[in-house]
């Protein structure tokens, strides 16, 4: 376990007065754990000029007690936690000013996106960058601790090209020194309401006979106008008479 435990006191002589040591301070280390030993000298000799001292050994070491001295060692086992860097990102549409009051995403609406990078690992991430491909905006957080976030907020105005495409495609990216880049996309639907109307109007009369009205032989001019009454661009529009 991780709790320290103390070895029996180490003495410099055996029961017959013969010198013993040096002692090897060691303990078998299980994979994924680190052991350290802290050994304290108890100076029993009155004329010893040194004070009681503590020596630290990591994963074992040797110690030679002085004459008449007792050494006590405390072993501490510490579990080594693997470092697991992890970074995720979420991009979300968080607002629409709805400039035309249509209740949907439409031309000239200003959209607000929030891009949130989260540290999902157990180590601090450095140089965390969050960027947006639609606007080109980015932000940098020098460091993000575990469960911490780095947030970028951007705005974008819907264009006619977006209306014609039927959606606004957007990708947020997060990256750090400890991880590779990660992305999240947000596709916002732009409703398309195509519409076409036509209006034909008599716009001229040559009135060849000067009668002041339409009569035989007069040349009439008509204008036929097709109008896009919808929100999306129309293609291959043909007007005939």
Residue 145 near residue 124, CB atoms below 8 Å: yes
- Asked if the model's pLDDT at residue 193 lies above 60, the reply is yes
pLDDT at 68: 64
pLDDT by residue (tens digit) across 153-181?
Answer: 999 999 999 998 999 999 999 999 999 99
pLDDT by residue (tens digit) across 79-111?
Answer: 888 889 999 999 999 999 998 898 999 999 999
Alpha-carbon gap, residue 64 to 55, rounded angstroms:
11
pLDDT by residue (tens digit) across 231-241?
Answer: 777 788 888 88
3-state secondary structure 18-77: CECCCEEECCCCCCCEEEEEEEEEECCCCCCCCCCCEEEEECCEEECCCCCCEEEEEEEE
pLDDT at 14: 58
Q: DSSP label at 7? A: P
């Amino acid at each position: 376990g991780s709790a320290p435990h103390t070895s029996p006191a180490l003495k410099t002589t055996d029961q017959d007065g013969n010198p013993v040591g040096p002692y090897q301070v060691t303990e078998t280390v299980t994979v994924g754990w680190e052991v350290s030993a802290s050994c304290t000298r108890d100076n029993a000799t009155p004329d010893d000029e040194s004070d009681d001292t503590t020596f630290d050994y990591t994963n074992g070491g040797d110690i030679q007690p002085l004459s008449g001295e007792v050494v006590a060692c405390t072993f501490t086992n510490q579990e080594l936690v693997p470092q697991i860097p992890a970074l995720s990102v979420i991009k979300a549409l968080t607002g629409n000013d709805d400039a035309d009051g249509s209740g949907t995403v439409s031309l000239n609406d200003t959209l607000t996106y929030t891009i949130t990078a989260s540290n999902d690992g157990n180590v601090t991430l450095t140089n965390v960058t969050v960027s947006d491909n639609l606007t080109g905006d980015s932000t940098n957080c020098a460091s993000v601790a575990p469960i911490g976030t780095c947030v970028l907020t951007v705005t974008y105005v819907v264009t006619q090209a977006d209306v014609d495409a039927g959606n606004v495609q957007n990708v947020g990216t997060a990256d750090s020194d400890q991880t590779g880049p990660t992305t999240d996309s947000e596709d916002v639907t732009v409703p398309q309401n195509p519409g076409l109307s036509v209006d034909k109007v008599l716009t001229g009369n040559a009135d060849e006979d000067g009668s002041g009205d339409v009569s035989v032989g007069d040349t009439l001019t008509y204008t036929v106008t097709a109008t896009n009454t919808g929100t999306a661009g129309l293609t291959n529009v043909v007007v005939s008479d």
